[in-house]
Copies of this chain bind each other. A is one copy, B any other.
Amino acid sequence: MQNKYPIGILGATGMVGQRYIQLLENHPWFEITWLAASDRSSGKPYGEAVKWRLDTPLPDRIAKMPVSPADPAGAPKIIFSSIDAPIARELEPKFAEAGCAVLSNSSAFRMTPNVPLVIPEVNAEHLHLIEEQASRRDSGGYMVTNPNCSTIGLVMALKPLEERFGIEKIFVSTMQAVSGAGYPGVASMDILDNVVPYIGSEEEKMEAETLKLLGRLEGHSVKPLAARITAHCNRVPVVDGHTECVSIQLGKKATAEEIVAAWDAYRPLAGMDLPFAPQQPVQFATQPDRPQPRLDRNRERGMAVTVGRLRPCNLLDWKFVLLSHNTVRGAAGATILNAELLVSLGKLEPAAVAMRA
């Protein structure tokens, strides 16, 4: 136990906060030692403050842990954060300035030039940006973000193609699960027997984040990929798992076999032994009607992206469907994998030192 990194959770009672707790139970490297949520919850045992919505039991140890105020004093040096953007904008820099490694699922700083937006399989080298942050020099603290839940599956499916063939145009239309909106989130009166073809700011996030993630680190910032992308985002009556219809235009011609081969061969984290890294990050399903959220969202404990239905597109080159678990791969698991990557890169040492003290 004393060899694990102590982790604090900002936004512990939200849907993603709950996933952090579920996924970190029995994590070999990390251990939750601090939980913070809104002032309303502060001081209560977590088990009373939370409306636990996951299908595994809330661990007893966590249920009894008191909810702390969202203040760096008393917090451990590694913080997993999933809070609303306006609050994140204010709180996350405070923790970084206090010397914390802030690994955030919030959208507040994803597009900030010196804040890395990272998917370990895609753009680990962008992590160098933390050295551009003033807090890093002052206190050792820094901020790293992971993408929006709808972006992450898309980028993981695109990256192996971008590497081999280049990507020029991307069309994506999503069918997103309700868990992506948090809790209480989407009202049942809005989604039973219904579709809501609108999610506030989601299309803009997908479009911007995708190009930053696929971009190249140049000097002090990332030069986004020079591709064009358009997104249509929709909410559907599904609990977990975002499904996305994609059409793409490649930089050079590729056959279906070459595309599938690129996905199959894509294992950039192989050999690194990161506990949450999927063995095969992008899995091609051969059945004509897959992927499907209920059947495919839990592949590799929710950390793999499933692609399928690869076929020619009349407008661009190819079209296909992808699916990823939005609160695991697309949120809590993304933060955890970023933390594991930082450990393997030696960038969480200050935190580790703090822990052993």
Interface of A with B (CB < 8 Å)?
15, 52-57, 169-171, 173, 175, 178-179, 183-198, 207, 228-230, 232, 234, 236-239, 243, 245, 247, 288-299, 308-309, 313-316, 319, 321
Contacts and interface: CB of A to CB of B under 8 A. Distances in A.
Contacts of A236: 175, 195, 236-237
The count of identical subunits is 4
A176 B194 CA distance: 10
A198 B309 contact: yes
A54 B194 CA distance: 12
Contact of A289 (B183, B196, B232, B313): B196
Contacts of A183: 187, 189
Given A56-B298, A196-B289, A230-B247, 20 more contacts: A15-B189, A53-B190, A55-B295, A57-B299, A173-B232, A184-B184, A184-B189, A186-B187, A186-B189, A191-B192, A193-B239, A194-B238, A194-B292, A194-B293, A198-B309, A228-B315, A229-B314, A234-B243, A237-B237, A239-B294
Contacts of A298: 55-56
A55 B228 contact: no
Nearest to A178: B188
B189 A187 contact: no
A195 to B, nearest CB: 5
A141 B163 CA distance: 60
Question: Most chain-B CB neighbours within 10 Å: which of A55, A195, A198, A298?
Answer: A195
